[in-house]
Amino acid sequence: MIAGTAAEIKLLPSTTEIDYDGAEDRPPFDPTDTSSVTTLKAAMHTSTAPDEVRCREDERAKVIDLIQGCLRDHKPGSLYLAGLPGTGKTLTLKDVQRTTERWGIVGKTRPRVAFINCMSVHNAKDIFGVVLDQLGERVASEDRAPSVGSIEYSNIPEVVALRRVVTSMNGGMCIILLDEMDQLETRDQEVLYELFALPALKGSRCVLAGVSNAINLTDRVLPRLRARGCEPALVTFSAYDAKQLKVLLKQRLAALPFKAFEDSALELCSRKVGAATGDMRKALNVCATAVDICVQEATKISEDGSEAPASAKGTVKISHMARALSKTYASPVVDSIRALPQMQQMVLCSAIKLLSSTHAMETTLGALHDRYVITCKTAGVKDLSQGEFHNMCSALSDHCLVKIGNASNDRLRKLRLLATRDDVEFSLQGVNFFRNLLGINE
C-alpha cells in the first residue's frame, strides 16, 4: 500500500470556528458610483479567490498532512478530492499549491509542483506532456525503452518520460495537482490509470492529487486501482450549509471600504442557496444579480426626468436579494403564494407564527382563527368572519399549501402546513407589510 493512501488517512477533529465578522464601521455602498460597483462585483466574482481558505480547514488539513508526510518520508502517495460543484475543492487545491511551493523555498529539498486544470487539455493523452512541461522536463532519447503498463501507452514517449522522472533517484519529489480530473476520462480509462499508477511505480517519488465533482469516480471508472494497490485516499467535500455560506460571503466583503449588503440580505441568500445546493458559486452569482438590481433601482430615471428617491440608494437590501433569488430559483410554491389574495397570505402568515411559537407540526382551524384575529388586530386590518376564514383555508388547501383534515366541528379540523416557513418568508418579504408581520428585519 502506498504511503498516505486510503488505508492510512485519518479524520481530524473539527476545531474550526466559522463565525466571521468584517469591519462594520464603514460608509454605505453607493450603487450610483461606477468605481464602487466595479470593486464590489470584482470581490463577488467566482474567479476571485480569497487569500484564506475558510470553512474547509479540516479538508485542507487532511490534504496538507498527507502530502507533508510523503515529502518528509520521501514516499509516494495519491489522493482524490471529491464533492459537488462550488464546495471549495479547487480553492483548497490552489492553497495546497501555494503551501507546497513555500515548503520548497524554506526546505532543504525543493519539491517540483505541477498544477493543471484539465479543462485546458484538449486531448486527454496530452496531459502527460503538459505535466512534464510544468515539472521542467522533456522527452529524452532513452524514453523509447519498454516499460510496465498498457500496450497502448507503454511506448508513448511522454508517458515513458514521466515514469522516468518520478522514479529518478536524483530528481527529488514531484507533486502533481490535477483540477477537473474527470475531463481525462476515456473509453478505456487508461489515461487515469496511468496517472494514478505513477505513485505505485517502484522507487516513485510522486505525490498525485486529483479533483473532480464525481464522488465515485475512482470506484466507477478505476476499479482496478484497488487491485493494483494504488487506490487514492478520498477526501470528500460536503455542500456548504447556510452558516458557512454566510461566513464565506462576509469574508469577501470584509475588505471593501464600504458596507455593501444588509446582513438580512446575506442571511436570505445563504439560507436559500444552502437549502438548495450549498454551492458557493451559485451564492456569488445570486449576490451579483442582487447588486445589478440595486444599481438599476438606484440609477433609474422616472418618466418625468427626476431621479429615483434617496431611499432607493444604499446597500443591497433583502428586497433586492429576494428578486435575485426569484430569477435564480423558479418555484411553483413561491409563485402560488405571491399570487394569493392578501387575506389568504395573512392566513398563511398566521399559521407560520402559530406553529413556530408552539413548535408543532399541525394545529386546529379554531386555534388558527384565534391567532388570525390577533394578527389582524396587530396589523390594523379588519378580520374575516369564521365562515369566510374557513373558505380561505379551503382555498389554500386547493393550492396545496395546507392540508386540512375532517371533523364534525370545523374548529376542531386539523390543519398542516405544506409550504415551508422559508417559502412563505421568501415569497412575501419583498412587501413591507408582510415583512413586519413575519418579523423579518431589513
DSSP string for residues in 218-274: HHHH-THHHHHT-PPEEEEEPPP-HHHHHHHHHHHHTTSSSB-B-HHHHHHHHHHHH
Q: Do residues 154 and 147 touch, judged by C-beta distance below 8 A? A: yes
Residue 305: its pLDDT value, please? 54
Q: How far is CA 342 from CA 25, 346, 383, 431, in A?
A: 39, 6, 12, 11
Predicted pLDDT of residue 304:
44
Distance between CA atoms of 37 and 33, rounded to whole angstroms?
A: 6
Q: Evaluate whether 152 touches 187 at the Cβ level (below 8 Å).
A: no
How many CB atoms lie under 10 A from the CB of residue 157? 16
**Bridge partners (DSSP) listed for residue 174:** 112, 206
Predicted TM-score (pTM) of the model is: 0.74
- With cell 408581520, the residue in question is 437
For residue 419, give every residue at least 6 positions away whose Cβ sits within 8 Å of its Cβ, in sequence order, or none. 333, 337, 348, 401, 402
pLDDT along the chain (442 residues), means of 10: 44 36 73 94 92 93 94 92 94 92 65 94 94 91 59 77 90 93 90 93 95 82 76 93 96 94 94 92 96 89 51 79 86 85 93 90 94 92 90 92 92 92 82 82 56
Residue 333 Cα distances to 278, 328, 398, 421, angstroms = 21, 15, 12, 12
Let me know how many helices (H) and strands (E) the chain has, helices first. Answer: 18, 8
Distances (CA, A) of 269 to 47, 264, 286, 337, 437: 19, 9, 7, 19, 21
Q: What's the pLDDT at 420?
A: 86
Grid coordinates of 333: 410554491
Using an 8 Å Cβ cutoff, are 57 and 16 in contact? yes
CA 207, 208, 210 angle in degrees (round to 5)? 155
Q: What is the DSSP letter of 149?
A: S
Beta-carbon-side half-sphere exposure of residue 234 (alpha carbons within 13 Å): 15
Query: How many CB atoms neighbour CB 231 within 10 A?
Result: 23
434 within 8 A of 441, measured Cβ to Cβ: no
Beta bridge partners, 82, equal: 212, 236
**Pairwise CA distance, residues 259 & 243, whole Å:** 20
Domains of the chain: 56-237 (3.40.50.300), 241-330 (1.10.8.60), 335-438 (1.10.10.10)
By CB atoms closer than 10 A (0-12, 13-18, 19+), residue 83 is: buried
d(CA 186, CA 192): 8
**DSSP bridge pairs for 79:** 209, 233
Helix crossing, 386-398 with 365-379: angle to 10°? 110
The answer to whether 83 and 145 have CB atoms below 8 angstroms apart is no
Report CA-CA distances (Å) from 206 to 8, 112, 114, 343: 17, 10, 11, 68
β-partners of residue 234 are: 80
Instruction: Outline where 329-400 has alpha helix (H).
Output: 332-339, 342-358, 365-379, 386-398
What's phi and psi for 193, nearest 5 deg? -60, -45
Asked whether 149 and 128 are in contact (CB, 8 A), the reply is no
